Amino acid sequence: MFRSGFIALIGRPNVGKSTLMNALIGEKAAIISNKPQTTRNQIRGILTTESYQLIFLDTPGIHKPQHKLGEKMVQVSLRTLREVDLILFLVDAATGPGPGDEYIMKQLEDVRTPVILVVNKMDQSGVEKARELAEHYLSLYAFAGTAVISALTGTNQELLVEQILPFIPEGPLYYPEEMITDQPERLIVAELIREKALELTEEEVPHAIAVEITSLSPRDGKDLIDIHANIYVERNSQKGIVIGKHGSRLKEIGQRAREEIEALLGSRVYLELWVKVKPDWRNKAGSWQAFGLELE
């Protein structure tokens, strides 16, 4: 019997949802950042073996929205809970319980989909603290299962998959065996650039960064792909931060992004980046579609 199904990864921002999905599928499908609300699209990561195909949905973090984009992200996350076969509710063993967890669990009260509690970051908290946190949450909700893991190191990852499989129904191969994500190349490239921009701007430019790929094409007669992209921010001061002194930070963003894009595309890449200001874009729905944000 071949099993296939859809699994939502939920949890408050920065609990490691993207890290876990990337670890499970063995490739980088979602960007990873130490900043909350990094994921904006509903990313699908696909794990296929001879006996099953698991499609993981790394949803935008459920959080108290601060702008219209945030509101839409939360709507997508909550809707997802009713459309999947299983929910993995991630909590952070290193930081412990938070009000964001309480908010999410309140939403789960109206959902019939089975939920597995995943206590992540045991590598930071230690096993004992992680298990104590698991007991705390088990007293608050009737979870269908529990796993204490480290998405970063891979600890107990196989045990988590074993817990997942009983909830996955018999089904078809939804995606080709070699496929690890359904995201188009342009979106993944844009996300890789955004990831490096987030890494290098630290707390100076929060979530005002968006990336638009204006062109992606092979250069005639050469093993080389030309990529041109715009990095958008909301204020002129943020533009200066992204560019850096004498363009040093933008150059570093480009170098780091190019290395990962070349690994993704299997080709040498010429990457040209421009930084532009688009005031208050997060409150303008038209901007979301322009930046490839599939929030419908």
Domain coordinates in residue numbering, the chain: 3-167, 185-290
User: For the chain, first and last CA: distance in Å?
Assistant: 34
Strand partners, 229: 213, 273
Instruction: In whole angstroms, give the CA distance from residue 27 to residue 157.
Output: 15
Detail the DSSP E strand segments found in 158-223. Answer: 210-218
| CATH class, range 185-290 | alpha beta
Lowest mean pLDDT among 91-100, 110-119, 179-188: 179-188
Q: Which residue has the higher pLDDT, 91 or 287?
A: 91
Domains 3-167 and 185-290 agree in fold: no
Lowest mean pLDDT among 89-93, 132-136, 188-192, 242-246: 188-192
Task: Band the pLDDT of 34: cuts 50, 70, 90.
Answer: very low
Residues 6+ apart with CB under 8 A from 147: 116, 117, 118, 119, 156, 159, 160, 163
Span 246-262, pLDDT tens digits:
999 999 999 999 988 88
DSSP state of 141: S
Average pLDDT, the chain: 81
Span 3-18, pLDDT tens digits:
999 999 988 877 888 8
Task: Band the pLDDT of 38: cuts 50, 70, 90.
Answer: very low
Lowest mean pLDDT among 12-26, 56-70, 186-200: 56-70
pLDDT of residue 282 exceeding 50: yes
Q: Which CATH superfamily is domain 3-167 in?
A: P-loop containing nucleotide triphosphate hydrolases (3.40.50.300)
- CA dihedral 163→84→152→73, nearest 10 degrees, is -160
Q: Which residue has the higher pLDDT, 61 or 282?
A: 282
